[in-house]
Amino acid sequence: MVATDPVRVLVTGAAGQIGYALVPMIARGAMLGPDQPVILHMLDIEPAAEALKGVKMELVDAAFPLLKGVVATTDVVEACKNVNIAVMVGGFPRKEGMERKDVMSKNVSIYKAQASALEQNAAADCKVLVVANPANTNALILKEFAPSIPDKNITCLTRLDHNRALGQISERLNVHVSDVKNVIIWGNHSSTQYPDVNHATVTANGAQKPVRELVADDNWLNSEFITTVQQRGAAIIKARKLSSALSAASSACDHIRDWVLGTPKESWVSMGVYSDGSYGVQPGLIYSFPVTCEKGEWTIVKDLKIDEFSRDKMDKTAQELVEEKELAKSCLN
């Protein structure tokens, strides 16, 4: 892509909390770099049409130099027209007293409709990132109903969990977060995900050391660290009375930026991608793996040693994804 051509970026659910945090980041260049002009396509549902108008007014008022245009609409076809990148934030949130099946059936119909609109209207090379929960399974539904979008172009967000894991390690060791790398989030973006530090390192005084060695507390790493990352979303809701919007928006930018512009040398990130059977994960699930990215393509990091503790956790989260897939199927029928 020539830097002078604007990239069209779709954000669904754009008037919501995450959308409101995300669109200025994109317009500032946090997603595609400081030289890449963008045209923002914002979609939301009819009841949010006025709020969406307000967001568009603010984008105009912010006078972002990289922002070459804004489409704000409640029409899914108009929203998807020629988009190069789609960030699917809109979804039906779980409300009190709702069963998982209720949430699933609502999201199945939303993602089925949006998949068809992308299939027919998006640019041929469109890259899709699903943020709305259940993210892995929403991405799978989207893939099912947008068959012409390549498998490799449909992903879901586990970068937020990845970044949370980096943050926990950096706080524990009192080091800068940019000195911690190669944590892994395996599996589902849910409380069964497995944050793995067995291959993670910290750079201190010019030398790289394993996180396990530096933390020197396996008990903490195998219990509290894992549950803190798994339950972090709930902890933020409890504290803020609202879900984590700022960090979700920021990590969505990280996910797309690394995917499009490449990961730094010698380091990987976590992305929910279509399984090819790597690490014994059933093909046909969207599962979070460690990946490296180059020239707009992601590749699963191969041949990492997996111990028994990890294997068990990786299998449990895969099992949950199999069950979600079945549940989604039953909602389709």
Write out the catalytic residue numbers. 189
Six-digit token string for 165: 């894991």
**Residue 171, CA atoms < 13 Å, CB-side half-sphere:** 9
Rg of the chain on CA atoms, in Å: 19
Q: CA 251 to CA 193: how far, in whole Å?
A: 17
CB 175 within 8 A of CB 144: no
User: Is 54 annotated as contributing to ligand binding?
Assistant: no
Cis peptide bond N-terminal to 134, omega within 30: yes
CB 133 within 8 A of CB 189: yes
User: Is 172 annotated as contributing to ligand binding?
Assistant: no
User: Is 100 annotated as contributing to ligand binding?
Assistant: yes
User: Is 163 annotated as contributing to ligand binding?
Assistant: no
What does each C-alpha distance from 288 to 52, 143, 193 come to in angstroms? 32, 16, 9
Q: CA 77 to CA 318: how far, in whole Å?
A: 34
User: Is 28 annotated as contributing to ligand binding?
Assistant: no
User: Is 16 annotated as contributing to ligand binding?
Assistant: yes
User: Is 18 annotated as contributing to ligand binding?
Assistant: yes
User: Is 282 annotated as contributing to ligand binding?
Assistant: no
User: Is 262 annotated as contributing to ligand binding?
Assistant: no
User: Is 14 annotated as contributing to ligand binding?
Assistant: yes
Sign of the alpha-carbon torsion through 191, 194, 197, 200? negative
Residues flagged as binding site for substrate: 94, 100, 133, 164
Residues flagged as binding site for NAD(+): 13-19, 44, 107, 131-133
Residues flagged as binding site: 13-19, 44, 94, 100, 107, 131-133, 164
